[in-house]
Structure 1
Amino acid sequence: MSFNTRLKKQIFIQAQRLVPQHKFSRIVGKLAGSENPIIKNTVIQAFKAKYSIDLSIAEQTDALKYKSFNAFFTRALKPGIRQIDAALNSIVSPADGEISQIGKIQAGEIFQAKGQQFSVEKLIGDPQLAAVFQDGEFATVYLSPRDYHRVHMPFAGTLTETLYIPGELFSVNQTTAENIPGLFARNERMVCLFDTEVGRMAVVLVGAMIVAGIETVATGKVKPSGCIELNHHELALAKGDELGRFYLGSTAIVLFEKDKMAWDNQFKANSTVIMGERMGSLTK
């Protein structure tokens, strides 16, 4: 790596430490939610051009017909565009994106990037709720700005708890993953916990810099309170059902208990995945 590249990365990291992350994200959130035609059309067109957004797969293909940038960003796909793997024992990708890391949770630690890891206990935010995932399996899927931004069920289950955990709002790209210790267990997040036919499953929606909100089907759009909030539910969801969505890009982390499932061998860090694609299967 060249000196200039290292310097750019250091500046990028330090800028995130210095900027008022939550205030900045709230300002962006207001802009993203604006229904003023001039504002929303300008932002949508600029974003669409910068990230080469493919609207041909969207239910609404006309960018200017979305009522706000948020509506554009969380756009639905055309029915049938994403097929959910039908095998009863399959685990599917919860989102369109790229695998940041995937594998086993070793001694309670989840691999983040070279030289970085974080504990499942800190990620979940509750020692009792996290205990069942010790030595289990995890997959971290990064949703880039150009991706479809709804998160779906990787396997059928009953949502039993949601746990909102306030935190920081660092970017969640590869540069920050390699340089911010415990990134995903430090950022604001919504932990969704499920009972399934093979035990407990978790899907953690991790917030990030300028993410203007996280929403789940059980809680609606999260209103950050600065406090940990635990809610109980009893909501059955099938594999492939929508679980939540991000208002700007971020990360979803899937957790399973030990010896309940295995990831397919072809999936590694940096593998591209699409929602509904088989990523693994049950082992019992």
Structure 2
Amino acid sequence: MTAKPPASPDAASLGEHLRNLPQYLLPQGAVTAWVHRLTRIRAPWFKDRLIRWFIGRYGVDMSEAANADPGSYADFNAFFTRALRDGVRPLAAEPATLVCPVDGAVSQAGAIAGDTVFQAKGHGYSLTALLGGAAVDAAPWQDGAYATLYLSPRDYHRIHMPVDGTLRAMLHVPGRLFSVSRLTTRCVPGLFARNERVVTLWDTAVGPMALVLVGAINVASMQTVWAGTITPPRGGRVRRWDYPASGEARVHLARGEELGRFNMGSTVILAFGPGAIAWDAGIHADAPVRMGQPLARPPG
């Protein structure tokens, strides 16, 4: 008998809303800019202590790192975005299988109801808003499938391609910097469509794919392998880059290839078109995931 996935948590209580209230009052941009500077201090007496404290506090497994010596990193951010040793995240063996792009945990996964994506019990948000506000960009994913993947502080923070793909467009969407913790997802309506994010839109063998990097408090920077650092600067308007399907400016990444990284951690949201994929049995709310494990398969 197949085990049922855990039930969604109850709607947030009054106490949880009160615990979450300070996030509305924090100067989110100023705090995040301060973290950006702090995590790039190179003084050994400071960065070495911070790195060793973080490893102990969050139980980081340095045996998986390509460089296992905490003192050898130039600054905290270099440690936080560390590479892994070859072979510690093997890709799912079947070439047609889509692979998980990150280490972390599944926050939610399922079907998109028209333009509405499920966030937490009592909360949904607009797919169109998530992808930058243009209905034409969101149309391929209406009534499709989505997965929200949360990266905790202890996780590996590089993001990889689930499937071979050619980049069609990238958008930087400015916004708030709420935490993306479970408490906040239960308390802040439309959280993922309100926070700052980098939206990437791809053509793949299973049809169009959207992969969204969602910023959060203390996520001082997001970057991609083809364009470098996207944020900061933060700005006040949506920025868009379109890419050709062929030629020297074409961006094509293979399944499992690095796409980008969070300089401090957050959340990745994936979207696929209607009927394009079937989620692997291991992809359900609260399930831990590792980069390279089976994520989904083409139907049939």
Match of 2:238 among 212, 228, 238: 228
The aligned counterpart of 1:267 is 283
The alpha carbon displacement at 1:180 in A equals 0.4
The alpha carbon displacement at 1:247 in A equals 1.1
Q: Secondary structure at the match of 2:295?
A: strand
Q: Contact 1:121 / 1:130 at 8 angstroms: preserved in 2?
A: yes
The aligned counterpart of 1:97 is 104
The aligned counterpart of 2:163 is 155
Q: Secondary structure at the match of 1:141?
A: strand
Q: Contact 1:102 / 1:139 at 8 angstroms: preserved in 2?
A: yes
Match of 2:145 among 113, 137, 152: 137
Paired letter, 2:163: F
| Counterpart Cα distance in 1 of 2:277 and 2:202 | 15
Paired letter, 2:112: I
1:120 aligns with 2:107: no
State the Cα deviation string for residues 217-254 of structure 1 (Å, max 9, x = none). Answer: 12211232222110122201001000010011100011
Q: Secondary structure at the match of 2:29?
A: helix
The aligned counterpart of 2:68 is 61
| Counterpart Cα distance in 1 of 2:70 and 2:18 | 34
| Counterpart Cα distance in 2 of 1:47 and 1:145 | 9
1:82 aligns with 2:101: no
| Counterpart Cα distance in 1 of 2:226 and 2:236 | 20
| Seq. identity, % | 44
Paired letter, 1:232: D
Paired letter, 2:177: L
1:109 aligns with 2:125: no
Paired letter, 1:243: L
Gap regions ≥5 residues in structure 1:
none
Q: Contact 1:32 / 1:212 at 8 angstroms: preserved in 2?
A: no
TM-score, normalization by structure 2 = 0.90
Q: Contact 1:169 / 1:207 at 8 angstroms: preserved in 2?
A: yes
1:253 aligns with 2:269: yes
The alpha carbon displacement at 1:12 in A equals 3.4
Q: Secondary structure at the match of 2:54?
A: helix
| Counterpart Cα distance in 2 of 1:29 and 1:132 | 36
Aligned residues: 280
The alpha carbon displacement at 1:266 in A equals 3.4
The alpha carbon displacement at 1:48 in A equals 1.1
Q: Select the structure that is richer in helix.
A: 1
Q: Contact 1:91 / 1:281 at 8 angstroms: preserved in 2?
A: yes
TM-score, normalization by structure 1 = 0.95
